[in-house]
């Protein structure tokens, strides 16, 4: 079993002349927290979609996530990854319990009841388990979304702009939730928020126009230098 | 690309000449034409004389069946067959797109549907003229006409679908899937006059006279030539646009 | 070698369980909100009302049975488009379809789960609409005595509904991702469904009018409809994965 959560070599995704990703290569250790930065259209979302098996890379790319090939072993890989996005990915007309039950069935978990109880307890929603999600506050929805993601015990969690649309309070809740599971998981986060992203991460990646501009461990990052590179990348992306 | 345009122009000229020649032959050398029609009573032959026939009665209305009307056969049928053929090619490109996910296949498929739509419109116009002349009505909801009309609507729907999707790759995928499903109407429309009672004649049957067959084939080849030329010109245009995109992309990087 | 790794939570992927989960989820949601059934039912009643307006000046001698098959199917087609659109909008709304795609599920299961759910709702609406249609238009003095058996009508409607649910699920999955969702669904759905509607109306009309040869016509047309269902659903089944992946 390899030590790397992500082994990406020459990841390219093109359609016609447009290159969403252009020769992206890097490796990420298990247990790391990678923050991906970049201007709009830099390929952040595409990168996340490829890593989470929702989009296929070009043929000459080699992309392994947790040792699984994202194309050939997609179905197996899906059992080991989870996504938290700014969209809750929950059915508003189902109760908290029914939502989790549904996803437990999709992952074919055994003893789903116990697992659901345990998770609802962890995100402090046990008292609302029989309430319809539509009536939940934004923070509660985000907590339930986290429970849904953790349900099949994924090793790798993708965070797709998880803070967008959250008020400061809900954002604090999410912070503490992530901190609580930080130890035993690997994270890949896409974010606009430079401060937040840098404070959480162990490694940082800047993408611009589908290419890696910078890939560096957090402890080697000079704050001012990093902001300068980031601004430059944003400038290039906008032109 | 310049070469592509030159070839296209040559094809248009040759195709045009061939089609014109076919028309001359159809007027001056083609003999009596027989079409089989599969009706409720069984197999009926319709005979189109070489000379103008007298007044005829259909549906209680007396009308002069113009002798010329039959000559539209040499335009109507080749163009209709070409529309089926080109749409089939479009569906094949659509399948190839779904397998390879290359944008060029999507472009080819779309251009083929475009070309096919032109042929379909030409078939519709000539068909309506012929229907009026020989059945006495502009339009009749009979199986062939109906399924062919649906085919035309499907092609229009294909472009409506394309215009309503903004993401390029998603647009290409949806269009390819829809093209394949829509293609299922082609064999239905083609076979239907042979399967259920219909007033539309079955034109292909054994024993077609050589004097009929030669102008027919000439017109067919001519039409396909012109059609392919139209396709090539559009492809050249798309190519130019793609190159422009590529240059723009490079300048930005 | 990666397969030797034990998963923290034990599991065994079962397609049947996943299929049931999707179906149950749709039914539970519908029972709670009753959104689809009420909107489809109400819409069907409105269509029947319009029919009444259209036929109000037809006069005493007008034999409504001759067009009853067509009218009935038309009402079903329009209401089904409403339902199909709703059913897929639910998945699209909060990005739930993405969550489905992220789970270890074979894509065809999603297709069958959604299609079977849609079929159930479609048939439920018909259970309500068809008798209503009968009372409004066919129970009066206009109905002919030698109408065929009712189970034939039901069978024709079931075969048609299977086609509508199968192909409709595919087309609605496309159309919810476009600008102008319901309009696009109509533009794609009606011409694709056209051959099926034509033969279904032929089968229905033969039974309802009590045509002397209705048994022969009915089975021929129903056979054609079944062939259409098989071809179209196989195509939809094979192509659904591409739609989801886009």
Contacting subunits of A (3+ beta carbon pairs below 8 A):
B, C
Of A49-63, A207-221, C119-133, C175-189, the least confident: A207-221
Beta bridge partners of residue A37, listed in sequence order = A206
Residue of A nearest to C30 (CA): A93
Given a contact cutoff of 8 angstroms between Cβ atoms, the answer to whether B68 and B77 are in contact is no
B104 touches chain C (CB under 8 A): no
User: What was the ipTM of the complex prediction?
Assistant: 0.90
Top residue of B151, B181, B187 to mutate, by most chain C CBs within 10 Å, is B181
Residue of C nearest to A112 (CA): C9
Identify which of C8, C29, C98 has the shortest CB distance to residue A94. C29
Q: What is the pLDDT of residues B132-186, one digit of tens each?
A: 776 777 888 888 889 999 999 999 999 999 999 998 899 999 999 999 999 999 9
Residue C42's CB is within 10 A of a number of other CB atoms, namely 12
Q: How far apart are CA C104 and CA A121, in angstroms?
A: 26
Is pLDDT above 90 for C222? Answer: yes
Q: Which residue has the higher pLDDT, B220 or C59?
A: B220
**Residue C33: its chain A contacts at CB < 8 A?**
93
Q: Is residue C241 part of a domain?
A: yes
Q: C-alpha B8: how far from its chain's center?
A: 19
- Between the two ends of chain A, the Cα-to-Cα distance in Å is 43
Is pLDDT above 60 for A68? Answer: yes
User: Looking at CA atoms only, how far is residue B121 from chain C in angstroms?
Assistant: 17
**Residue A17: its chain B contacts at CB < 8 A?**
242, 245-246, 249
Residues of chain B falling short of pLDDT 70 = 30-70, 134, 197-198, 202-208, 253
Q: How far apart are CA C16 and CA C23, in angstroms?
A: 11
Identify which of A83, A91, A107 has the shortest CB distance to residue C11. A107
Enclosing H/E stretch for C169: helix C150-175
B96 touches chain C (CB under 8 A): no
Q: Is residue C42 part of a domain?
A: yes
Q: Is residue A133 part of a domain?
A: yes
Binary contact (B242, A17; C-beta < 8 A): yes
Q: Is residue A7 part of a domain?
A: no
Give the Cα-Cα-Cα angle B121, B91, B227 (nearest 5 degrees): 40
pLDDT of the residue at A111: 85
Count of domains for chain A? 1
Binary contact (A89, C18; C-beta < 8 A): no
Binary contact (B161, C246; C-beta < 8 A): no
Is pLDDT above 90 for A81? Answer: yes
Binary contact (B245, A15; C-beta < 8 A): no
Per-chain mean pLDDT for chain C: 88
Is pLDDT above 50 for A239? Answer: no
Q: Is residue C57 part of a domain?
A: no
Residue A15's CB is within 10 A of a number of other CB atoms, namely 17
**Residue A54: its chain C contacts at CB < 8 A?**
98, 101-102, 245
- As a whole number, mean pLDDT of residues C61-75 equals 87
User: Looking at CA atoms only, how far is residue B103 from chain A in angstroms?
Assistant: 5
Q: C-alpha C141: how far from its chain's center?
A: 31
Tell me the pTM.
0.89
pLDDT of the residue at C6: 45
Q: How many CB pairs under 8 A join A and B?
A: 21
Contacting subunits of B (3+ beta carbon pairs below 8 A):
A, C
Count of domains for chain C? 1
Q: What is the pLDDT of residues A162-188, one digit of tens each?
A: 887 777 877 887 888 888 888 889 999
- As a whole number, mean pLDDT of residues A102-117 equals 90
Q: How far is CA B212 from CA A22, B65, B193, in A?
A: 59, 20, 21
pLDDT of the residue at A82: 92
pLDDT of the residue at A66: 92
Enclosing H/E stretch for B166: none
Sign of CA dihedral A142, A145, A151, A154: negative
Q: Is residue C174 part of a domain?
A: yes
Q: Is residue C53 part of a domain?
A: no
Top residue of A1, A70, A78, A106 to mutate, by most chain C CBs within 10 Å, is A106
Residue of C nearest to B180 (CA): C235
Q: Which of A229, A231, A195, A193 is CA-nearest to residue A214?
A: A229
Binary contact (A17, B245; C-beta < 8 A): yes
Interface residues of C toward A, Cβ cutoff 8 Å, are 1-3, 5, 7-14, 17-18, 20-21, 24-25, 28-29, 32-33, 90, 93-96, 98-106, 245
B193 contact partners, CB below 8 Å, separation of at least 6: B37, B38, B143, B144, B200, B201, B202
Q: Is residue C7 part of a domain?
A: no
A107 contact partners, CB below 8 Å, separation of at least 6: A79, A151, A152, C11, C103, C104
Residue of A nearest to B169 (CA): A15
Domain, as residue range, for C193: 35-48+64-245
Domain, as residue range, for A136: 91-153
Binary contact (B165, C194; C-beta < 8 A): no
Q: Is residue A104 part of a domain?
A: yes
Binary contact (C188, B157; C-beta < 8 A): yes
Q: Is residue C4 part of a domain?
A: no
Of A55-64, A114-123, B56-65, C41-50, the least confident: B56-65
Q: Which of B157, B109, B97, B142 is CA-nearest to residue C192?
A: B157
Enclosing H/E stretch for B64: strand B61-64
Q: C-alpha C241: how far from its chain's center?
A: 21
Enclosing H/E stretch for A215: strand A211-217
Q: Is residue A77 part of a domain?
A: no
Binary contact (B101, A56; C-beta < 8 A): yes
Q: How many CB pairs under 8 A join A and C?
A: 104
- Residue A81 has φ and ψ, to the nearest 5°, of -120, 155
Q: How far apart are CA A145 and CA C98, in angstroms?
A: 13
Q: What is the pLDDT of residues C109-152, one digit of tens each?
A: 999 999 999 999 999 999 999 999 988 888 765 555 557 788 99
Q: Is residue A137 part of a domain?
A: yes
Q: How far is CA B230 from CA B5, B29, B233, B241, in A?
A: 10, 30, 5, 17
């Amino acid at each position: 079993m390899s030590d790397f959560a992500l082994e990406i070599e020459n990841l390219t995704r093109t359609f016609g002349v447009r290159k969403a990703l252009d020769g992206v290569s890097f490796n990420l250790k298990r247990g790391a927290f990678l923050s991906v930065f970049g201007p709009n259209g830099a390929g952040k979302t595409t990168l996340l979609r490829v890593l989470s098996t929702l989009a296929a890379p070009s043929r000459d790319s080699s992309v392994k996530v947790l040792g699984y090939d994202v194309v050939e072993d997609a179905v197996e890989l899906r059992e080991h990854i989870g996504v938290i996005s700014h969209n809750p990915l929950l059915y508003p007309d189902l109760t908290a319990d029914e939502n989790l039950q549904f996803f437990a069935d999709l992952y074919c978990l055994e003893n789903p009841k116990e697992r659901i109880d345990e998770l609802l307890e962890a995100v402090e929603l046990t008292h609302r388990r029989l309430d319809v999600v539509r009536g939940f506050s934004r923070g509660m929805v985000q907590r339930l979304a986290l429970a849904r993601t953790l349900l099949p015990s994924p090793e790798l969690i993708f965070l797709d702009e998880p803070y967008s649309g959250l008020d400061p309070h809900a954002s604090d809740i999410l912070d503490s939730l992530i901190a609580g599971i930080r130890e035993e998981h690997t994270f890949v986060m896409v974010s606009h928020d430079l401060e937040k992203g840098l404070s959480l991460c162990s490694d940082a990646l800047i993408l611009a126009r589908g290419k890696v501009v910078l890939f560096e461990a957090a402890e080697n990052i000079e704050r001012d230098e990093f902001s300068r590179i980031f601004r430059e990348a944003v400038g290039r992306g906008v032109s | 690309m310049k070469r592509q345009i030159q070839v296209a122009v040559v094809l248009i000229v040759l195709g045009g000449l061939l089609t014109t020649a076919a028309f001359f032959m159809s007027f001056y050398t083609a003999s009596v034409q027989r079409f089989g029609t599969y009706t409720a009573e069984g197999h009926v032959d319709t005979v189109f004389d070489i000379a103008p026939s007298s007044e005829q009665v259909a549906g209680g209305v007396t009308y002069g069946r113009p002798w010329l009307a039959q000559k539209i056969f040499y335009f109507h049928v080749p163009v209709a067959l070409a529309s089926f053929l080109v749409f089939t090619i479009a569906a094949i490109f659509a399948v190839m797109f779904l397998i390879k996910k290359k944008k060029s296949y999507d472009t080819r498929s779309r251009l083929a549907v475009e070309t096919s739509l032109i042929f379909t419109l030409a078939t519709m116009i000539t068909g309506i003229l012929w229907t009026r002349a020989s059945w006495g009505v502009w339009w009749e909801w009979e199986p062939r006409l109906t399924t062919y009309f649906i085919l035309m609507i499907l092609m229009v729907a294909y472009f409506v679908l394309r215009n309503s999707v903004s993401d390029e790759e998603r647009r290409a995928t949806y269009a390819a899937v829809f093209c394949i499903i829509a293609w299922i109407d082609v064999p239905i429309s083609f076979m239907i006059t042979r399967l259920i009672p219909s007033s539309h004649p079955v034109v292909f049957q054994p024993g077609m006279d050589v004097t009929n067959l030669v102008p027919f084939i000439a017109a067919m080849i001519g039409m396909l030539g012109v059609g392919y030329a139209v396709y090539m010109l559009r492809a050249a245009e798309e190519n130019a646009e793609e190159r422009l995109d590529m240059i723009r992309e490079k300048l930005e990087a | 070698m990666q397969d030797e790794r034990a998963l923290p939570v034990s599991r065994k992927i079962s397609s049947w369980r996943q299929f049931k989960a999707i179906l149950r989820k749709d039914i539970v949601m519908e029972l709670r909100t009753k959104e689809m059934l009420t909107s489809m039912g109400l819409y069907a009643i409105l269509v029947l009302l319009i029919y009444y307006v259209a036929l109000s000046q037809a006069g005493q001698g007008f034999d409504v049975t001759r067009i009853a098959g067509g009218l009935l199917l038309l009402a079903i087609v329009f209401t089904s488009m409403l339902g199909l659109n709703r059913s897929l909008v639910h998945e699209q709304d909060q990005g739930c379809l993405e969550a489905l795609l992220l789970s270890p599920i074979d894509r065809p299961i999603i297709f069958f789960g959604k299609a079977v759910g849609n079929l159930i709702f479609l048939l439920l609406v018909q259970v309500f609409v068809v008798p209503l249609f009968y009372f409004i238009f066919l129970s009066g003095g206009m109905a002919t005595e030698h109408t065929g058996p009712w189970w034939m009508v039901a069978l024709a409607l079931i075969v048609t509904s299977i086609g509508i649910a199968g192909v409709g699920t595919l087309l609605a999955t496309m159309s919810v991702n476009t600008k102008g969702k319901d309009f696009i669904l109509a533009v794609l759905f009606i011409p694709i469904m056209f051959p099926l509607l034509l033969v279904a109306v032929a089968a229905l009309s033969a039974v309802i009018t009590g045509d002397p040869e209705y048994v022969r016509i009915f089975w021929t047309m129903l056979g054609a409809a079944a062939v259409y269902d098989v071809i179209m659903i196989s195509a939809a089944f094979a192509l659904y994965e591409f739609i989801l992946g886009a």
